[in-house]
């Protein structure tokens, strides 16, 4: 039977138990959910913090000794939380800013949970012993993560389940090599802190072993930012030991390791520059990434994104755009027509990201946290409440953490380590002995008060966990499994499934809408319009996409996908053309320098038979960049729709000339200047304009381009059979349908006899 005399003990141990589970979060992977390396970890973190909060509230209401001190660290974090809240509230999409999305799982809700996490552990972990246990769990789990990643990399060649989706870069249970390295790097500094807090040589050896394993794992992650930051950290620690006093307790061993590492690094750096083109460097994933750092496309893409971000910062300098609205910067930048439009949702730079998210005030509030760190550390060092080496290790850890974030951004794995380190530092100055949990506490007003608060607090926790965690997690599971659902389901049944999941009304609705949009594209592309429920499915898709437009009115990535679908629908439903045109023109008003919109507008106008304006619009875009082959292809499509063969032929000839010169298409085996996606679009345009023999010729080029016997090639043969049927060429129609069945008998064998019978009718 629970004794009310020890109610504070039960609350404290319940909170500690929840907090001591948080270091295990990096091990969580949820294959049943969308983004399995992200969603499960974040929902687990939120649930643990919420449960701890449900116990913590009655604890601090009843017992003053657990209430927080008005420390500089707490004030700085609360100030940051307040400023980011303002930025999100007055940003371009407060809903997105608060809830984020499945891919990132950040937003203001994560900021609130991290702030609450800081407050809870600062309140309850009051003695050094608690922190040593807490940090030991962190570093032990990090060794499990790094060891698993290294073992998995050895198994990758022979075991499909360990397939490396990042080539030779390892990522463990974190799911991304860069995030993996960031997490391990912070864990290594926690291990250094533990080294300075133990006298046992066996433990020191264990921590050094752990650091070594994590270092190897970081190397094989090939994460340049984290490796550079770690090298800088090693240099800082080396300087610390060179100019510092030698202390006992095995620190000579640490000094030797660090100084040796610095010497080896200097030698290797000089050697690397001189032999960077050697074969062994080219064949080593990590070394080759450093050797090609300044010519790497990913580096150039980030630099371009930083330039884009700067224009967005100038547009909203005070409070920024709000979290999860980074794509809003594309509305104030020129977006040229390129082969593949890349939409970044982060700058991969902590300074630029917070300037975009929350403006100058947001960046200042973030940097204020570091200011509080240095202030608290200096005061603790002056009052001798923290050893010199430990203080410098924390400074170096946070500096390195900041440096590596100049090349990436945080995930929950590194966030919890960062916040735990801040809370530990906050407690150093106010460190108290733990409450004697065995001490008899008399039945008094405090105990009664805590009992009265516990039940409402747990009830609130139940409500929060259902709406904040259960519903969105269930939706993520639906999204993850929808592609593997029963293929025999009619679109009516599939639509019922979508309606059911959308009834949950969570932040994952946009992901559901994207899937509905993709399925609607398939219905139109494969001409499944006559299948039961297909038209209803497309109609509901449009309704759902319309709901997302207001929330994403500054997200040109989302709007572009919507406009592409609407444009496709308008080919089959002419009454939809005006609505499509209206959305395109609204998007052009949002960003008149987004060139792709003009091609969509021209296509829409051509379908309205406003041919002159359509061609004029595209000609103006082509004139701005007369050596852009993609623009000439778009001009050719509009000209074909407009029955201007002279313009179409001229545009395709110019496209061919550019590609033969710049892209060396003449050396390709098939010697075809158009790519697969372009041939698909060209074939469709010919079909739309009833130019059947031209469509057949384009399909034949596409088959030659693909050079395989894939299901798509089978489908192309089946389409060609239908075209030959339309033009009355029975012999070729039969030949093509049989070819489709030969390549893909599962889908087309049953169609051969009915198709041939239809030729005789």
> How far lies 217's CA from each of 213, 362, 413, 462, in Å?
6, 34, 16, 40
Is 24 in contact with 137 (CB distance < 8 Å)? yes
Write out the two tokens for 487: 């293929």
Rounded Cα distance between 153 and 218, Å, is 13
Please tell me the predicted confidence (pLDDT) of residue 539. 93
The string of pLDDT tens digits covering residues 394-418 is: 988 998 999 999 988 999 999 999 9
Rounded Cα distance between 160 and 403, Å, is 36
Please tell me the predicted confidence (pLDDT) of residue 446. 59
Burial 550-565 (b: 16+ CB within 10 A, else e): ebbbbbbebbbbbbeb
Burial class, 694, CB count within 10 angstroms (exposed 0-12 / middle 13-18 / buried 19+) = middle
Please tell me the predicted confidence (pLDDT) of residue 434. 43
Is 91 in contact with 97 (CB distance < 8 Å)? yes
Profile the chain (761 residues) by mean pLDDT over runs of 10 residues. 62 93 96 93 97 92 84 95 98 96 95 97 90 96 93 64 58 91 93 90 91 90 82 69 52 59 60 56 63 68 90 96 96 86 89 97 97 91 84 89 91 96 86 44 56 81 93 92 66 90 92 92 83 92 93 94 92 89 95 94 91 92 89 92 91 89 56 82 90 92 87 89 90 90 86 81 65
Q: Could you tell me how far CA 645 lies from the centroid of its own chain?
A: 45
DSSP string, 54-112: HHHHHHHHH-GGGSPP--HHHHHHHHHHHHHHHHHHTSS-HHHHHH--TTT--HHHHHH
Residue 622 sits at φ, ψ, to 5 deg, of -65, -40
SS3 673: coil
Rounded Cα distance between 517 and 146, Å, is 39
Continuous H helices in 707-744 = 711-727, 730-743
Residue 594 pairs in a beta bridge with 335
Q: Angle at Cα 567 formed by Cα 566 and Cα 573, nearest 5°?
A: 80
Burial class, 176, CB count within 10 angstroms (exposed 0-12 / middle 13-18 / buried 19+) = buried
Q: What is the dihedral of CA 582, 585, 586, 588, to 10 degrees?
A: 160
Please tell me the predicted confidence (pLDDT) of residue 2. 47
Is 326 in contact with 342 (CB distance < 8 Å)? no
The string of pLDDT tens digits covering residues 131-178 is: 999 999 999 999 999 999 988 877 655 554 444 455 578 888 999 999
Write out the two tokens for 310: 């700067």
Q: Is the pTM of this model over 0.85?
A: yes
DSSP assigned state of 539: H
**Length in residues, the chain:** 761
């Amino acid at each position: 039977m629970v004794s009310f005399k020890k109610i504070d003990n039960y609350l404290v141990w319940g909170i500690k138990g929840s907090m001591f589970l948080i270091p295990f979060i990096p091990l969580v992977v949820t294959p049943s959910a969308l983004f399995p390396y992200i969603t499960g970890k974040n929902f687990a973190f939120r649930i643990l913090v919420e449960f701890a909060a449900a116990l913590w509230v009655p604890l601090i209401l009843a017992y003053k000794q657990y209430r927080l001190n008005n420390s500089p660290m707490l004030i700085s974090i609360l100030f940051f939380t307040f400023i980011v809240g303002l930025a999100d509230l007055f940003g371009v999409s407060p809903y997105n800013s608060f809830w984020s999305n499945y891919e990132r799982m950040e937003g203001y809700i994560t900021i609130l949970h991290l702030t609450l996490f800081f407050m809870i552990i600062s309140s309850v972990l009051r003695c050094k012993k608690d922190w040593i246990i807490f940090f030991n769990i962190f570093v032990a789990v990090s060794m499990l993560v790094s060891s698993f990643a290294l073992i998995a990399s050895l198994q990758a060649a022979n075991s499909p389940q360990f397939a490396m989706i990042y080539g030779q870069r390892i990522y463990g249970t974190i799911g991304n090599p860069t995030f993996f390295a960031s997490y391990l790097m912070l864990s290594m500094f926690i291990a250094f802190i533990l080294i300075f807090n133990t006298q046992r040589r066996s433990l020191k050896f264990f921590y050094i072993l752990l650091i070594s394993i994590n270092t190897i794992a970081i190397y094989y992650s090939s994460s340049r930012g984290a490796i550079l930051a770690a090298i800088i950290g090693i240099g800082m620690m080396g300087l610390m030991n060179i100019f510092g006093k030698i202390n006992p307790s095995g620190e000579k061993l640490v000094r030797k390791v660090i100084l040796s590492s610095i010497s080896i690094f200097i030698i290797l750096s000089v050697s690397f520059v001189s032999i960077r083109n050697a074969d062994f460097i080219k064949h080593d994933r990590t070394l080759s990434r450093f050797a090609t750092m300044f010519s790497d496309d990913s580096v150039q893409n980030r630099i371009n994104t930083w330039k884009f971000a700067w224009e967005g910062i100038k547009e909203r300098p005070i409070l920024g755009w709000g979290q999860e609205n980074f794509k809003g910067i594309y509305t104030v930048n020129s977006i040229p027509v390129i082969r593949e439009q890349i939409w970044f949702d982060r700058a991969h730079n902590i300074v630029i990201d917070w300037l975009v998210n929350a403006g100058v005030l947001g960046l200042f509030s973030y940097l204020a946290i570091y200011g509080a760190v240095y202030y608290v550390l200096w005061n603790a060092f002056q009052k001798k409440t923290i050893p010199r080496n430990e203080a410098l290790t924390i400074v170096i850890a946070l500096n390195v953490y900041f440096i590596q974030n100049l090349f990436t951004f945080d995930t929950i794995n590194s966030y919890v380590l960062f916040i735990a380190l801040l809370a530990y530092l906050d407690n150093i100055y106010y460190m108290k002995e733990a409450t004697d949990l065995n001490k008899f506490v008399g039945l008094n007003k405090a105990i009664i008060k805590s009992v009265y608060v516990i039940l409402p607090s747990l009830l609130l926790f139940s409500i929060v966990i259902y709406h904040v965690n259960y519903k969105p997690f269930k939706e993520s599971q639906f999204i993850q499994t929808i592609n593997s659902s029963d293929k025999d389901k009619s679109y009516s049944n599939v639509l019922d499934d979508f309606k059911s999941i959308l009834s949950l009304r969570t932040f994952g609705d946009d992901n559901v809408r994207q899937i509905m949009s993709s399925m609607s594209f398939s219905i139109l592309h494969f001409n499944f319009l006559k299948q039961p429920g297909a038209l209803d499915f497309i109609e509901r898709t449009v309704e759902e996409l319309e709901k997302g437009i207001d929330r994403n009115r500054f997200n040109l990535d989302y709007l572009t996908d919507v406009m592409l679908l609407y444009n496709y629908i308008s080919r089959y439903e002419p009454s939809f053309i005006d609505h499509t045109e209206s959305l395109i023109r609204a998007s052009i008003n949002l960003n008149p320098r987004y060139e792709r919109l003009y091609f969509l507008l021209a296509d829409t106008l051509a379908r309205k038979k406003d041919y002159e304006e359509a061609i004029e619009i595209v000609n103006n875009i082509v004139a701005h960049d007369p050596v852009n082959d993609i623009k000439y292809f778009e001009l050719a499509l509009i000209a074909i729709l407009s029955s201007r063969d002279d313009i179409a032929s001229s545009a395709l000839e110019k496209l061919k000339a550019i590609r033969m010169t710049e892209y060396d298409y003449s050396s390709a085996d098939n010697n075809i200047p158009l790519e697969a996606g372009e041939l698909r679009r060209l074939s469709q345009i010919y079909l739309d304009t009833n130019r059947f023999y031209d469509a057949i010729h384009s399909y034949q080029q596409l088959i030659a381009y693909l050079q395989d016997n894939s299901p798509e090639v089978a489908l192309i043969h089946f389409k060609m059979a239908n075209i030959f049927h339309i033009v009355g060429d029975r012999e070729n129609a039969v030949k093509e349908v049989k070819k489709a069945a030969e390549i893909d008998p599962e889908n087309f064998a049953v169609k051969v006899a009915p198709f041939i019978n239809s030729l005789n009718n």
